């Protein structure tokens, strides 16, 4: 079986993971609350682990994983440096929107129907984990 389409979709998904990692970097730099910072750092670590797993899957399929978020992601990262909120509430709301909309909904659309079974299982597992991030961020907003 030729995995070119699967590799392409997984690389698009991987770019999204890198965008998330970098987005959390900016949020973490702008938060003073130690507890919230630790929670955001844990979510960022999860995204780094997810990126490693996706990159490994791409390699196992004979492909070369991307190693950054690509041009569009770089532009988004540049813009986010100037639009990152400086309140705990604003940072949590930004993280929640990014995790829910970009992290889950957009990622799910990117890979819908284009993956082999093992790759789909990996992506589904990552998206389920990201849903736990959304729940965590919502609970932090309610505190």
Tokens of 54: 């996706």
Distance CA 23, CA 47 (A): 11
Question: Which CATH topology does 4-142 take?
Answer: Ferritin (1.20.1260)
Question: What region, left, alpha or beta, does residue 113 occupy, with left being phi > 0 and alpha being psi -120 to 50 degrees?
Answer: left
**Which string of b and e fits 101-121 if b means at least 16 CB within 10 Å?**
ebbbeebeebbeeebbeebbe
Residues 6+ apart with CB under 8 A from 67: 18
Spans in the chain with pLDDT lower than 70: 1-2, 69-84
Residue 135: Cβ-neighbour burial (10 angstroms; 0-12, 13-18, 19+):
exposed
Determine contact, residues 76/35, Cβ cutoff 8 Å: no
- Structure letter (DSSP) for residue 99: I
Give the residue extent of every domain in the chain. 4-142
Give the residue among 41, 40, 47 at the shortest CA–CA distance from 20.
47
CA separation for the pair 40, 25 (Å, rounded): 9
- Lookup result for tokens 């959390």: 24
| Residue 2: per-residue pLDDT | 67
């Amino acid at each position: 079986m030729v995995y070119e389409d699967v590799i392409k979709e997984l690389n698009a998904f991987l770019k999204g993971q890198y965008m998330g990692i970098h987005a959390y970097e900016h949020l973490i730099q702008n938060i003073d609350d130690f507890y919230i910072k630790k929670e955001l750092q844990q979510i960022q670590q999860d995204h780094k682990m997810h990126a490693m797993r996706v990159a490994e899957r791409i390699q196992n399929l004979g492909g070369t994983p991307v190693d950054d978020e690509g041009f569009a992601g770089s532009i988004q990262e540049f813009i986010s440096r100037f639009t990152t909120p400086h309140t705990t509430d604003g940072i949590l709301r930004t993280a929640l929107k990014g995790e829910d909309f970009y992290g889950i909904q957009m990622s799910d659309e990117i890979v819908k129907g284009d993956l082999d079974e093992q790759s789909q299982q990996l992506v589904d597992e990552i998206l389920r984990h990201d849903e736990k991030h959304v729940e965590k961020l919502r609970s932090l907003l309610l505190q």
